[in-house]
A and B are shown apart, each in its own frame.
Chain A
């Protein structure tokens, strides 16, 4: 059916958001796959200089998502990978309004273009486990069927819900297209640079007092693998993508050798907003809610359908720690030494007491 493409793997693939870290890596990886003939990277902005040499095998088109329709038809595109999502508002790029514009409006335009592309047979959309929202009544582990009980307060979470809603509509209108929605846990890894990796890279890490959320991460390389397989193979449906296992926030901070600084919960969102406006970090309600509730998903469906198990959350975090050992406050060796010293001290004191008596 696809000239030039092996059965299953599409011949021509469009990747959106190649100007960003994830998009650039996915596009480069797909371009390296011999089963795929052409990889076209779409981004309204030119990519970061560091990412530019990654994209040597990728045809780049500087294009807004609203003018994508013609491109999809003209180039006989078989598959679209939608990665152009913004996870946190960037004050330099228009803040929350621009973020929503890109996430929600961008996705609507993309889906409209996809709907009009007759040859399209595969759509892969990046989503997030933020799709489950946050509520105190939430079950401990989300499966793909879990409906959010409350609409999230954070902008990104709301955008994700909107995006998934539009994809559901697209599925109804184009049942012939294999639509894959990947709900990713926060990315972590040796090279990824996200809000969360910056958070854990600080020597003193703010936490919410009295809350120790359960966190899950997915290693960046595993996320690439899953995205690659989604394009090259057929996996219709929605999948949670996360490293199996759980780290509690306090545990993660201790493993990273950082020091936790608990902050009181009331008014935290306001403090985060002030800090954001003053240029300290980019923590929004999305992050505050994550650090109050935590988020754990079930990855059975991914493992069964893809035949691939991402490395565990603990292993992914270990990889991140190794790459960011600069800010370590307490090391494991120091703790072990302290333990030995104290033990010896107690033994000697007791021996002395015994001798005297």
Chain B
């Protein structure tokens, strides 16, 4: 247990500026109940335990430690599996030479040792390794499904969510409230405030919603076309459930009963200066409202506090942005001064609150009525803005525990 507690202490040592390159992110954080942390069983023997997304908050009870629940896709270990595989390859190679002699000497000894290990019901690590390898095999054989938008749930669960989980839970100490306002089934349009110079809030929102929602719903994000112009980034966006922010896609997703996440401020929200933090920008034409109206989908406003402080944008070098064809070129206290180190987000404290859904089913015929659309957009905007103010009062210190 001491390991967990030590790291718990270390959390308070997290510098409020940028940590060093080798600094450990705060692992055990204050907002989590001590009991949950204490329930952490004895698994520290393995050095890699620190990297593992811990299960204490996601699992209802520490019992799954012995028998992982069937809803497997939660926390596999792609990265590690790769590393392990490399190690294991060596081991296998070694064995290949050592084994014939070994098995010849004591045939009764070597053979049972394999299954004996596997059958140990409490062997958490064996299960993880097996799962990781199965994942790797599935990926290499192409045995997974991709939907028409390119969403790859297998990859999202195994790689993307665990990575973002480290970020939102351990680095940003995110607290989520009002998750009961997100519909358990059927379509829903989650509308949030955008911030942070780099749109990490979208990733955090999607992962936190998936983790905290009882139905483990995926949030299908709508992104700017700039995202889909960039190689690599575009594919990450698609594979994790994103698609281009346009009405046909939004309506198709909502028509399929998906949960869609949208940030109507767009780049105006992400690229605003630190001085304008938590001031909602213009909502554009309200295309998201007409998509919701046309499909009769409830709108769930969500306020995200914490995103503004991760990369406080002090200035925007517009000529450079134009040269690079970017919507803005940020100057933060750390970027571009510290080079790649400036890419490390500051460990602000995050609060996410989902507000009660706004029904739209009765307004289905008014999707083209600009008055209805703008009124509804304003209502959503006001709700988010007021919730932001309330959350900010609850969080006096942006970098508090």
A residues bordering B, Cβ < 8 Å?
136-141, 143, 146, 208-212, 214, 245-248, 250-255, 265, 294, 296, 330, 332, 335-336, 338-339, 341-352, 354
Contact = CB atoms under 8 A, between A and B. Distances in A.
A100 B95 CA distance: 63
11 contacts: A137-B225, A139-B244, A140-B243, A140-B244, A141-B248, A210-B232, A211-B234, A212-B235, A254-B140, A345-B91, A348-B95
B144 A348 contact: no
A214 B246 contact: no
Closest 4 CB pairs of A and B: A210-B231, A254-B142, A255-B142, A210-B232
A71 to B, nearest CB: 43
A136 B224 CA distance: 10
A136 B235 CA distance: 12
Q: Could you say which of A209, A250, A346 has the most chain B C-beta atoms within 10 Å of its C-beta?
A: A346
B137 A136 contact: no
Tell me the dominant secondary structure on chain B's binding face.
helix
Nearest to A137: B225
B92 interface: yes
B88 A345 contact: yes
Given A139-B249, A140-B243, A254-B140, A248 B146 contact: yes
Contacts of B243: 139-140
B225 A342 contact: no
Nearest to A330: B140
B148 interface: yes
A348 B113 contact: yes
Contacts of A341: 92
A351 B231 contact: no
B84 interface: yes
A344 B88 CA distance: 9
* Chain B CB within 10 Å, residue with most, of A146, A350, A354: A350
B114 interface: yes
Contact of B114 (A247, A296, A339, A348): A348
A252 B146 CA distance: 11
Interface in B122-136: 125-126, 129-130, 133-134, 136
B136 A339 contact: yes
A294 B92 CA distance: 40
A336 B235 contact: no
B335 interface: no
Contacts of A255: 141-143
Contacts of A137: 225, 228, 244, 246
